[in-house]
Amino acid sequence: MNAWSDGYNADIAYTHGAYRELSPGYLSYVCLLNGVRPPRTDRPFRYCELGCGQGVTLNILAATHPHGRFTGIDFNPLHVAGARRLAEDAGLANVDFHERSFQEVVAGALPAEESGEGFDFIVLHGVYSWVSPENRRAVVDILERMLKPGGLVFVSYNAMPGWAPVLPLQKMMLAHAAANPARSDRQFDAALAFINRLNEAGAGYFAINPTVAQHLGTIATQNRQYLTHEYLNTHWEPLSHSQVAQDMAWAKLGYACSANIPHNFDELSVRPELRPILAEIADPVMAETVRDFAMNQVFRRDIYIRGLDRMPAAEAAGALRRLRFTLTVPREKASLAVPVPLGELRHDESLGLPILDALATGTPSLGAIEAMPEMARHDFGTISRFLALLVSANHAHPLAELSETAREASLRLNRAIAQRMLIDESLFFLAAPTVGLGIGADALERLVLAGLLSGQPLDVQPLAGFVTDALRALGRSAVAEDGSAISDPVAMRSLVILRLADFLPQKLPVWQRLGIL
């Protein structure tokens, strides 16, 4: 472990993720759903990500929101160097990355022009439960000093009580790694193998905690870059809502709502037998803590506001009615059945089908959807919630404040990412300026997009040749329907042609609608 890392795993870079919950448009939308006034994003705003990692999210947000000013802070020089290179390759002038620890930021290590005016948004994803108590105090100090009145904080973290059965597992992994020095991914693999031996030999811990064995099966297939950061941090600590709410209160922050949309509806997330118990609780922090027990919460995504302002219902509804939406998936993939914490909620066809059709053919506002003749049987709350659950399921999203500048910046960034996709399979996301966030793509989609963004014609035959060459350059085979690997170039190309003919008619309109192409 590096001395400068303060117990945090820093010898391997973190994943190249892009997280929807960090998008200003998404955060503002969730606030409106819960009747909370968000910061304004229809004019210049300032945004900071603490622990920005590889900077993929921040670069995408900077490209899709050219009227915003973005600041990324991370103590790992490997992360900051990579994030800066991507910003430079895309010619993004509205984003800066700083190699600083949280405690250095508190001590005044940021340039005055970065922090002097304060931020409208400060976000941190996962970091809060991965760092030491001293660094958590530094985070709260940053929020207290640098967030504007009315500003928004997004903080996500490993939560109790869901992590309780797995706590000893992480401690065992950390102890095994400490006893066996090596690069952290190798330490993780060795620790996991050792723990599996304990499980197979009948260790009592696994016998009385059956969920742990299931957890071991899950992590065996997950990304090692993520896993080493999750499990091999000295100060790793799942936190309760009450703990975090108390911390945030020191920075004058009030809990607004969950960024996980269904978690704000008890009828979608809490068993009926438990709802009367929740209704008896007057204290909001206690109620939210009990909800976590009801749901066995594993990971929280919380929104806090400095100067929490509950909007009049009519004002919030009016703001929601003005928002325009579009599908982010092919129409064939959008479903009336939406996953919620209590299972799956299937909506009535008379409600869902006209809305899905409208979103597939245009970008209607919620008010325009409400005014459709087919919606006469349904009230505003029902229509709004269905749309919200489509957003939650990643099937739809509100539109961003789109401009030609955003389109041009996003295209530059996407071309820079596309070039990297041809040599590095760790990049999954491209900028979608229509909705102001990053959109993921699977292995084949990434190479198709890389080809189209680098100037390949929209023709199946040459595009298939490009994809086949790219797969071979990456040392990859094509995978047939029966799961067998195909490495012969001619057979690979034939298979790719079939795949392109199948999914291009569905995917291409979506990519164009989102502004990726």
Distance set, CA 475 to CA 63, 424, 486, 487 (Å) = 32, 11, 12, 9
Q: What was the pLDDT predicted at 477?
A: 86
CB 30 within 8 A of CB 268: no
Q: What was the pLDDT predicted at 225?
A: 81
State which H helix or E strand residue 70 sits in: strand 68-74
Model pTM score: 0.94
Give the least confident one: 189-193, 198-202, 216-220, 296-300.
216-220
User: CB within 8 A of 46, min separation 6: which ones?
Assistant: 68, 69, 71, 117, 118, 119, 120, 121, 148
DSSP 8-state symbol, 262: G
Q: In the structure encoding, which two tokens stand for residue 189, read together?
A: 């693999």
Q: What was the pLDDT predicted at 336?
A: 94
Q: What is the pLDDT of residues 366-399, one digit of tens each?
A: 999 999 999 999 999 999 999 999 999 999 999 9
Question: Using 50, 70 and 90 to split pLDDT, how confident is the model at 244?
Answer: very high
Give the least confident one: 56-65, 102-111, 185-194, 267-276.
102-111
Q: What is the pLDDT of residues 14-40, one digit of tens each?
A: 677 899 999 999 999 999 999 999 999
Q: How far apart are CA 394 and CA 206, in angstroms?
A: 35
More confident residue, 117 or 191: 191
